[in-house]
Structure 1
Amino acid sequence: MTGKLAVVFGGSGFVGRNVVRELARRGWRVRVAVRRPHHAQFLRPMGAVGQIQLKQCNVRHAPSVADALTDADAVINLVGILYQSGSQRFDTVQAAGAATVARLAAEAGVTNFVHMSAIGADAKGESDYARTKGEAERAVMEAIPSAVIIRPSIVFGTEDEFFNKFASMAGISPALPLIGGGKTKFQPVYVDDVADAICEALVRPEAAGQIYEIGGPRVYTFRELMELMLSETGQKRILLPVPFPVASLMGLGGEIAGWAPFVEPPLTRDQVKLLKHDNVVGERARALSDLGVEAQTVESILPSYMVRYRRYGQFAEHAA
């Protein structure tokens, strides 16, 4: 793909930075469209000199999107939020934002388009997160029928917001909540595998117009993931089952706390709604293997970054 330009919206995020690195490794020129380019300078060394460009862009501002799409050969939209804050709303960022990127990409003649959604995306979904993800998928496919939709389960890796979040909580709390009893099922997928899948989707003709649900090689309950995390960090904490109605009240409290500037809500009511449904790859869905990617296991990756939470770091096993 030497010489071709891929425009990545949301390229400075957890998944985005890994996608940018992989695109550069594969020889693409990469333009990263982000709201705050000065916070994304760390991306430049991931490629050769001049290979990675940074472009100021906000998906809620159509002219900036159109400008970022200039001369694009391929487009990847990774923009998404886990909770609402200020002007960052599910409807405007995930639904309308994706629609704007896809519409303007189509007008620019781009047919090679990959959109990252999520397992459980449903335009008629109960949660606002799932609903807007579903609306985004519909808008993307209407604008560009050849677009590829990637739906991952929870994504893990060194900078993830799942295992790191709960390991941090375990460092200050004697107990961790198991929403709904911890029975919800997940199929965690390694961030490098997600990046590989997205890059493969750009170059495989058979991927055009398809939806892929991607997850790791094993399904876990939420309780099992917490037990695995605690085992790797060497922490002993109470895993406290919390019924969904009580969790919703906790979510309301989290939202109120999130009104403070720069405070991330530990839990929201919308996230509680998501936890009522399993997050695993469908039996008949096109999966990671259909894109030629072999999934790596949680057990093989998690120890490499959970070590920071051990009381004695990498020497924890040898401590008295």
Structure 2
Amino acid sequence: MSNATKIIMLGATGAVGNHAAIKLANIPAVKQLTLLGRRPAENVVGESIIQHQIDIFSPTSYEPFIAGHDTAICALGVGQPSKMSQQEFIKIDKDAVLDFAFACKKAGVTHFELLSSVGVSPSSSSFYLRTKGELEQGLKELGFERLSLFHPSMIMTPTNRYGLSQALTLSVMPLLDPLLCGSLNKFRSISAEKLGNAMAINLLQNSRSIAVDDLYWSDFMALSEPLLAV
């Protein structure tokens, strides 16, 4: 296990981030879990929890809270990118995340973890994947001692949160998953709970001696299945 005991997090109100925060709140080795967000994560409780309501677009609103943390997790993201302009998407999914990461680096955070997406690339023809790829490139350039990039495909939630498109995903992916074998298994779906648990556990594990850790479906499953010894 890593000696990381103070974790700061952005995005604990989202489906995946919320599960990660709940998991971390119940691990005794986590001495402090500081949650930053536009609203409180109401179902995350515990002696280690500190919450601050901030403006995610204004680093000065949260920079004072970062000092003393060694690890950061960012699960901030847009649930339905098609429902907003490209400029708004960039502002939330790229610019706000890079601002947070820069503030963390400046404050001495050594391990930064990001909820990203499968298929991202700064040269992708897809606007969504290209923006995410540019974000990852920017994070790499900051030079964290350890950077963990989670690349899920479809994220499954217990209920339909976004209408017809998600309804189709929730019904079709369980049928497609068994067909995605070998190198294609990175495109398998995963539940928000398992992914959140994997992100939490990864924060507390020793580095695999690589600066940039790219994680996919098989990694999520390996991390989320075993019980973490604490």
Normalised to the residue count of structure 1, the TM-score between the two structures is 0.56
Name the structure 2 match of 1:67. Answer: 64
Provide Cα deviations, 1:103-156, integer angstroms capped at 9, x if missing partner: 111110110211111001111222222111111111111112521111111111
**Cα RMSD (Å) of the superposition?**
3.4
Task: Return the letter of the residue paired with 1:36.
Answer: R
Q: Distance in 2 between matches of 1:88 and 1:57?
A: 21
Q: Distance in 2 between matches of 1:3 and 1:150?
A: 19
- Structure 1: give runs of 5+ residues left out of the alignment: 171-175, 177-183, 217-286, 296-320
- Structure 2: give runs of 5+ residues left out of the alignment: 173-179
Structure 1 position 32 matched with structure 2 position 31: no
Structure 1 position 149 matched with structure 2 position 120: no
Structure 1 position 212 matched with structure 2 position 214: yes
Secondary structure of the corresponding residue to residue 43 of structure 2 = helix
Task: Return the letter of the residue paired with 1:115.
Answer: L
Task: Return the letter of the residue paired with 1:288.
Answer: F
Structure 1 position 189 matched with structure 2 position 190: yes
Q: Distance in 2 between matches of 1:196 and 1:98?
A: 21
**Structure 1 stretch displaced more, 63-72 or 128-137:** 63-72
Rg larger in structure:
1
| Equivalenced residues, count | 207
Name the structure 2 match of 1:200. Answer: 201
Question: Alpha-carbon deviation of 1:196?
Answer: 2.7
Secondary structure of the corresponding residue to residue 110 of structure 1 = coil
Q: Distance in 2 between matches of 1:163 and 1:206?
A: 40
Provide Cα deviations, 1:230-274, integer angstroms capped at 9, x if missing partner: xxxxxxxxxxxxxxxxxxxxxxxxxxxxxxxxxxxxxxxxxxxxx
Q: Would you say the 8 A contact 1:189–1:214 is kept in 2?
A: no
The structure-2 alpha-carbon separation of the partners of 1:14 and 1:72, relative to structure 1 and needing over 3 Å to count, comes to same
Task: Return the letter of the residue paired with 1:148.
Answer: S
The structure-2 alpha-carbon separation of the partners of 1:68 and 1:52, relative to structure 1 and needing over 3 Å to count, comes to same
Secondary structure of the corresponding residue to residue 117 of structure 2 = coil
Higher relative contact order (CA 8 A, sep 6+): 2
Secondary structure of the corresponding residue to residue 196 of structure 1 = helix
Q: Would you say the 8 A contact 1:148–1:207 is kept in 2?
A: no
Q: Would you say the 8 A contact 1:23–1:199 is kept in 2?
A: yes
Q: Distance in 2 between matches of 1:30 and 1:160?
A: 29
Q: Distance in 1 between matches of 2:87 and 2:11?
A: 13
Question: Alpha-carbon deviation of 1:191?
Answer: 2.1
Question: Alpha-carbon deviation of 1:57?
Answer: 2.2
Question: Alpha-carbon deviation of 1:21?
Answer: 0.8
Q: Distance in 1 between matches of 2:85 and 2:133?
A: 22
- Percent of aligned pairs with the same residue? 20
The structure-2 alpha-carbon separation of the partners of 1:4 and 1:114, relative to structure 1 and needing over 3 Å to count, comes to same
Q: Which residue of 209, 214, 220 maps to 1:288?
A: 220
Q: Would you say the 8 A contact 1:98–1:140 is kept in 2?
A: no
